[in-house]
Amino acid sequence: MKKIDWTLLISVVIISIFGILMIYSASYIWAEYKYGDALKYVKNQGLFFIVGIVLMIIISKIDYKIYLKKSNLILLVCLILLILVLIPGVGTVRNGSRSWFGIGSFGIQPSEFTKLGLIIFTSKYLACNEKSTKNFKGILPILGLLILIFGLIMLQPDFGTGTIIVMSIVGLLFVGGVNFKYFIRLGIVGVIGIVGLILAAPYRLSRILSFLNPWSDPLGSGFQIIQSLYAIGPGGLFGFGIGNSRQKHFFLPEPQTDFIFSIISEELGFLGCVIVVGLFITICYTGFKISKNCDDKFGKYLSFGIIFQIAFQACLNLMVVVGLIPVTGYAKKWEKIVNDIGTLINKSKNEILLN
């Protein structure tokens, strides 16, 4: 009989319910303006939560070793989906990135499946090739796949997701006992690659410059981080209270998405930040403990990879929101949102003049 880790389960449920509450608080003004339905986003997230709970129960009944047997097929399907989403008419462009399959008002990102698919394949490879992975040639197949997948994701483009996948696999290789000197080489190659990507796309360079000095372009590339810091700064110890954010009133673009942590900080202050970070630390610590105590090699690597991915994604998001690293994402996304807000402000001015 499978043993349930109640600390992990309760932490996941609490952070999910807390997330739904904060999505409502952060989104109801924007949702009312854009869709005429203040509950638009919270209803979607509530549905996802219910579906997630059902899937969690179903998947918990499946022997995870079936993923070991089907790892090649899972990865192949993920690669096919990554290619299909790039085809006009098949993939849907949202916020300047062709990374979605549109299904009505919902969307599915194949890159999200690829995150897990590559972890499953890498876990199988490490479990079955422990001796060969001690040398550089032994990890070349994984590095080749990683480069291919990163390249496909960058064609969308989605630098944030690509970065999370790379960091997760590198972390998994480290746990797998790959010689540390190889990571130094990979780090040098990675830095060169990032510089190349920045030079290849001017909007990424503007992101770097706005990170160093957001006020150099306060209405352009620096707009998002400036508004985020305006939300975080006044929050103090206990914040303004749930529902009392000022920045969600069309100052911070789409506050219910990547920058919801800013609204949490503004409404619940330092206490809210501690709650969120504390829950993530609990989830990651419990996950790592489960991985460490797992006797099966494939299960150990699989659980480590999943927790690495959660940890890296959480850290990346929090660091972006507080201005420790540049904002990731496609520039046209924020350009469109800023233009929408500008249109709203002009509309409001005209209505005031007419009255």
Q: What's the rounded Cα separation, in Å, for the pair 135 and 127?
A: 15
Closest to 309 (Cα-Cα) out of 167, 176, 146: 167
Sheet strands side by side (includes 106-108): 92-94, 97-103, 106-108
Band (320; pLDDT cuts 50, 70, 90): confident
Structure tokens that stand for 252 in this block: 């911070």
Q: What is the mean pLDDT of residues 47-56?
A: 93
More confident residue, 253 or 13: 13
What tokens does 219 get?
A: 């209405």
Q: Which letter does DSSP use for residue 104 in this model? A: T
**Cβ-count burial of 2 within 10 angstroms (0-12 exposed, 13-18 middle, 19+ buried)?**
exposed
Assign 105 a pLDDT band (cuts: 50, 70, 90). Answer: low
Maximum alpha-carbon separation in the chain: 77
User: pLDDT, tens digit, for every residue of 24-37?
Assistant: 999 999 888 888 88
Q: Assign residue 177 a region (left: φ > 0; alpha: ψ between -120 and 50; beta: otherwise).
A: left
CA distances to 68, 128, 170, 268 from 131, in Å:
19, 9, 18, 50
The pLDDT tens digits for 214-269 are 777 777 777 888 888 888 988 888 999 988 998 988 888 878 888 899 999 999 99
Can you give the residue ranges of every domain in the chain? 71-200
- pLDDT for 331: 44
Contact 127, 298 (CB under 8 A): yes
pLDDT band at 89 (very low <50, low <70, confident <90, very high): confident
CB of 336 within 8 A of CB of 95?
yes
Please give the mean pLDDT across all residues of the chain. Answer: 83
Q: Please give the pLDDT value at position 22.
A: 94
Residue bearing the bigger pLDDT, 336 or 268: 268
Instruction: Please state which of the ranges 4-18, 42-56, 314-328 shows the lowest mean pLDDT.
Output: 314-328
For residue 202, the model assigns a pLDDT of 62
Tokens (6 digits) for 16: 């999910």
> Is the pLDDT confidence value at 13 over 50?
yes
Q: What average pLDDT does range 299-320 have in this prediction? A: 91
Question: How far apart (Å, rounded) are the C-alpha atoms in residues 327 and 311?
Answer: 18
- In angstroms, the Cα distances linking 51 to 42, 48, 220 are 14, 5, 38
Determine which of 84-88, 112-116, 247-251, 324-328 has the lowest per-residue pLDDT on average. 324-328
* Tokens 């638009």, residue located: 40
